[in-house]
Amino acid sequence: MQSAQTLYASLWEKGKELQVLKSISTLIGWDQETYMPKQGIGIRSMHKQYIEALLHQEMTSTHFQEKLSHFIDLDSGKFLSVQGLDDIQKAALREWRRDVVKEKKLPEKFVKAFAKATSEGTSVWAEARAANDFTSFQPHLEGLVKLCRERASYLGYKDHPYDALLDEYEPGMTTKTLDKLFAGLKTFLIDLTHKLSKKSVQADFLYGSFEEKAMLDFDYFLVESMGFQKDTYRLDTSSHPMCLSLHPKDVRMTTVTKTRDLFSANISSVIHEAGHGLYEQGLNEEWFGTPLCEFLSMGIHESQSKLWECFLGQSLPFWTYFYPHLQKAFPKHFANVSLTSFYQAINQVSPSLIRIYADEVTYSLHVILRYELEKALLEGSLQVKDIPQAWNDKMQAYLHISPKTDAEGCLQDIHWSAGLFGYFPTYALGNLYAAQLLDALQKRYPDWNAKVEQGQLLFIRDYLKEHVHQHGRLYTPDELLRKATGHSLNEKYFKDYLQKKYPV
Amino acid sequence: MQSAQTLYASLWEKGKELQVLKSISTLIGWDQETYMPKQGIGIRSMHKQYIEALLHQEMTSTHFQEKLSHFIDLDSGKFLSVQGLDDIQKAALREWRRDVVKEKKLPEKFVKAFAKATSEGTSVWAEARAANDFTSFQPHLEGLVKLCRERASYLGYKDHPYDALLDEYEPGMTTKTLDKLFAGLKTFLIDLTHKLSKKSVQADFLYGSFEEKAMLDFDYFLVESMGFQKDTYRLDTSSHPMCLSLHPKDVRMTTVTKTRDLFSANISSVIHEAGHGLYEQGLNEEWFGTPLCEFLSMGIHESQSKLWECFLGQSLPFWTYFYPHLQKAFPKHFANVSLTSFYQAINQVSPSLIRIYADEVTYSLHVILRYELEKALLEGSLQVKDIPQAWNDKMQAYLHISPKTDAEGCLQDIHWSAGLFGYFPTYALGNLYAAQLLDALQKRYPDWNAKVEQGQLLFIRDYLKEHVHQHGRLYTPDELLRKATGHSLNEKYFKDYLQKKYPV
């Protein structure tokens, strides 16, 4: 028993080194987005390359694998010699194995080819989007789709190659499950969108020239109200909002203050990033150095940001409390706008071309469209050259609108150029997880509404920490959800939420 | 020949990795001093430990040493097989050897013991200084002196153990040379101090409540006037001023704006740090990854900061140009203060207890005092327990004042607690180098005075870049100085400068 603990301890030491290395890499990325002098980009690339190579090297070191193999069979995942270890330690071993196996499955040659293709891909994509020229991007995308098929083969799958990619972002998720969830959702959302989009509301007061300092002050007020504690986080400005975590006690978010779009680009974004940030802060520090002190999946991460951004941050109780503060912060803009008008403006439902600006009803349709195209590309039932047409057909079918250009159509997102096939569905999953978690929270706190109206948000942070954050990768997403809500993922909670919020 | 170049190239690759690693370490340090949330200190320590261990491991890797040994005998420094390599490459090899040999000479066990003692030492020292209690620090300092003697033995020396420590900061410098330089300087400075300190001038306008934003704006104005280019540096605020370089294109300085002491704590400090910063920016980027893209010595580094801070930044031509700008920046404080009054106030000579606040005449006496004590401690002719008395005796002899407490006497500086014996003399060397370089510059530009009065400073930056910065570690400090000024280091330039500036 002693020897198992000693061996586990030395594995954990190595795990700490890996997590420290990831944290350093995050710091480097944060600095680049916030304070790096522009011409520092050269040395910055060298920083990144060095750390990434080292991480790969350390992850795949035979030393680490040998230690791990003592406890668990790397091929099958079966525990071998874990007498004396507790369930937490076994879960850590399970997740270490998951990471190592994935890292091992991809040959170094492939990893390099993939990195090269995505690095070139993103820069070609940026030019193609700017020039609205899909054909210049087409050969690169063809190469990337081929590489993603190879990736799926290396990673392995049972039913569908796309499952291998999905599993990278959402462990255990399959096309079979997604097809079922999305089928139930798609017609519902299409129907709701077209019923709601007939209503037009005034929203011009959300746009204009807002004082940057006042925006940042209000952002801080929001973030601290949500439960961030002084000296454990940062909120800086950058050209796009983000959240990076160096450690649960050092979480760094950014907000955009150079914008004329107060709600979407600033307020809503900062609530979104703070939702991500609270998840990172809620991880169990005591497990630092094991995968259990890491977030569970992209879908679960997105559920935390979406829950705060939309389900709470676009709710009437939330703004019943915060709107007077907003009016005080921007008297020129909101003194003569009622809470009702404001609430209607931030919840307007209307089909639009760009995913990131979509409202909470149409948003998931943008995601489902991408999922369907990705799956077809992986299967080979859709050719890259036919993407623009397929995209526009689906936009017409789901949202009744058509992009005039590919730049505002199939070229709008960076993901494909970066090889991130399998990532998009997690955005929609975030909404579904969030709705289901919120339902459980509301059952636990029937008076949640009245609390939020009084600006009490800490009970929400604490609930999410208890049921989601602190567990890290201890459970699978499905286990976590069943423990928290009593059920596996079901799209009905999201549908119920929308139906109640948007009566037609 | 091809094979020598190929081998050199692979050595350089490794050198680049080392320099990238140092740069990452610097970024981590910078973040800690500027933007890190306070509670991030835990993960920060892990970052540091990881990178430092890795650096030591890489520096001492047999792989690197074997490659280097092909070219140069590590023991003797004699070149072995360098046919086809140019002088630059040979210089790089020479300096790589210097670093590796030093790293090898110190056994890992000693390095760890030294790190532990200094880490404990600095925290005990901080408490001892706060409590004005030398006896609580005494046993730690005794241990540190013992370790420094061991350090000297490991590093090796010819005449005096202190030479081994000196060489770490000022390659090639010896007690023999220093004794001669300082002997010539000491009586001169003592004499000058007592002649000048009888004059009292008004300086109260330098202290007060200055607007932080205006301070920072003026700091930027100074720094950009000195020749920093946009997008290649940062200037942030921190609790003490500093300059850290990630790369010649990413140099980061900080300035103190939370102060009531405008000139010393803010303006003079920022000019000082910018002097350091210009040195780092002036290194030859093409040599990045070799020691030639690193600064030469602490004394040379300090010469660059001192030259800007005192020799220029406290000169009349400098303030002839900048004073009207200062008046405009702080009209409330300086509208009714003449340039002459300002100039006299910033150049007041008066014996004082604290080194870092000393004027340019007395400053070197503070350093000589420490040098004499350090040398005696290393020789064993002074016991640690007798430091307070020895300190006070020397203060009385040189400056005719006595500290009332050890906190403002022998406990004032952090260096000894951090094991930095041999470092102090470089502060005085900085003044001597600076005076000698300035003399050469003035001969090259007889109209330098008129140029500076018009705010032209770029010719100074360029001169220093040409004669000092760009060479990095290509030459020894002595070679560099002889190339730049025609002579080895001589204290007479500094004496001449002071005599001219402070007629008695």
Question: Count of alpha carbons within 13 Å of A480, Cβ hemisphere only?
Answer: 28
* 3 state DSSP class of B253: strand
The pLDDT value given to residue B1 = 46
How, if at all, do strands B242-247 and B250-255 pair? antiparallel
Q: Kindly report the number of other CB atoms within 10 A of residue B159's CB atom.
A: 9
Residues in B whose CB is inside 8 Å of some CB of A read: 16-17, 20-21, 23-24, 27-28, 31, 35-40, 42-44, 46-47, 50-51, 231-234, 236, 246-247, 249-250
Distance CA A495, CA B13 (A): 57
CB contact under 8 A, A35 and B231: no
The domain A204-348+447-492 is placed in CATH, from the list 2.60.120.40, 3.55.10.10, 1.10.1370.30, 3.40.50.2300, at 1.10.1370.30
Residue A2: what pLDDT?
Answer: 53
The token pair that represents B354 in the structure block = 């604290």
pLDDT confidence of residue A13: 94
Check B21 against A50: CB less than 8 A apart.
yes
The bridge status of strand A250-255 relative to strand B250-255 is: unpaired
Of A43, A233, A234, the CB nearest to B250: A43
**Secondary structure of B379-432 as H, E, C letters:** HCCCCHHHHHHHHHHHHHHHHCCCCCCCCCCCCCCCHHHHCCCCCCHHHHHHHH
Taking the C-alpha atoms of residue B329 and residue B435, their distance in angstroms, rounded to an integer, is 31
* Contact of A129 with A122, CB cutoff 8 Å: no
E strands, B210-283, where?
Answer: 233-237, 242-247, 250-255
Residues 6+ apart with CB under 8 A from B431: B302, B303, B306, B310, B360, B363, B364, B494
Task: Report the alpha-carbon angle A371-A137-A47, nearest 5.
Answer: 90
Distance CA B263, CA B256 (A): 11
| Chain A residues with at least one Cβ partner in B under 8 Å | 16-17, 20-21, 23-24, 27-28, 31, 35-40, 42-44, 46-47, 50-51, 231-234, 236, 246-247, 249-250
The 3-state DSSP class for residue A464 equals helix
pLDDT of residue A62: 87
- Token pair for residue A73? 């069979």
Report the greatest alpha carbon distance in chain A. Answer: 71
ipTM value for the complex: 0.90
Disruptive mutation site among A232, A249, A294 for chain B (greatest number of B CBs within 10 Å): A249
The ranges assigned to domains in chain A are 1-105, 204-348+447-492
Helix (H) or strand (E) holding B290: none
Element (H, E) at A236: strand A233-237
Q: Cα A17 vs. chain centroid, distance in angstroms?
A: 25
Tokens 């040994």 -> residue? B69
Residues of A in contact with B20 (CB under 8 A): 43, 46-47, 50
Chain B positions touching A213 (Cβ under 8 A) are none
Token pair in block for residue A70: 């003592």
- Asked if B50's CB is within 8 angstroms of A231's CB, the reply is no
Are A232 and B40 inside 8 Å of each other by CB? yes
B249 vs A40: CB contact, 8 Å cut-off? yes
DSSP string for B107-152: -HHHHHHHHHHHHHHHHHHHHHHHHT-HHHHHHHHHHHHHHHHHHH
Rounded CA separation A263/A347 (Å): 11
List, in order, residues 6 or more apart from A345 with CB less than 8 Å away: A201, A202, A203, A205, A206, A263
User: In chain A, which stretches have pLDDT less than 70?
Assistant: 1-2
> What would the pLDDT profile of A55-68 be if each residue is shown by its tens digit?
888 888 888 899 99
With beta carbons under 8 A apart, name residues in chain A contacting B24: 24, 28, 47, 50-51
Give the H/E segment covering residue A94: helix A87-105
| Contacts with B238 from chain A: Cβ below 8 Å | none
Q: Are B298 and B426 contacting, i.e. CB atoms less than 8 angstroms apart? A: yes
Residue A397: which residues within 8 A CB-CB, separation 6 or more?
A: none
What pLDDT was estimated at residue A500? Answer: 97
Domain B207-347+432-496 in this protein, CATH class: mainly alpha
Q: Which residues of B are less than 8 Å from A27 in CB distance?
A: 27-28, 31, 47
Q: Quote the CA–CA distance of B53 and A24 in Å, as a whole number.
A: 14
DSSP alpha helix (H) spans, B172-211: 175-196
Structure token pair of residue B323: 């004073």
Q: How far is CA B192 from CA B188, B350, B365, in A?
A: 6, 10, 11
Nearest to B102 by CA among B188, B44, B164: B164
Q: How far apart are CA A340 and CA B128, in angstroms?
A: 63
Judged by phi (left if over 0) then psi (alpha if -120 to 50, else beta), residue B256 lies in beta
- Report the amino acid identity of residue A230: K
Q: Strands, E, within A138-199: which ranges?
A: none
* Sequential pLDDT tens for chain B (504 residues): 458 999 999 999 999 999 999 999 999 999 998 999 999 999 998 998 899 889 888 888 888 899 999 999 999 999 998 888 999 999 999 999 999 998 889 988 998 899 889 989 998 999 999 999 999 999 999 999 999 999 999 999 999 999 999 999 999 999 999 999 999 899 999 999 999 987 789 999 999 999 999 999 999 999 999 999 999 999 999 988 999 999 999 999 999 999 999 999 999 999 999 999 999 999 999 999 999 999 999 999 999 999 999 999 999 999 999 999 999 999 999 999 999 999 999 999 999 999 998 999 999 999 999 999 999 999 999 999 999 999 999 999 999 999 999 999 999 999 999 999 999 999 999 999 999 999 999 999 999 999 999 999 999 999 999 999 999 999 999 999 999 999 999 999 999 999 999 998
Candidates A256, A259, A273; CA nearest to A216 is A256
Sign of CA dihedral A136, A142, A145, A150: negative
The CA-atom distances, in angstroms, between A77 and each of A70, A73, A91, B46, B383 are: 12, 5, 11, 31, 64
Is B361 within 8 Å of B189 (Cβ atoms)?
A: yes
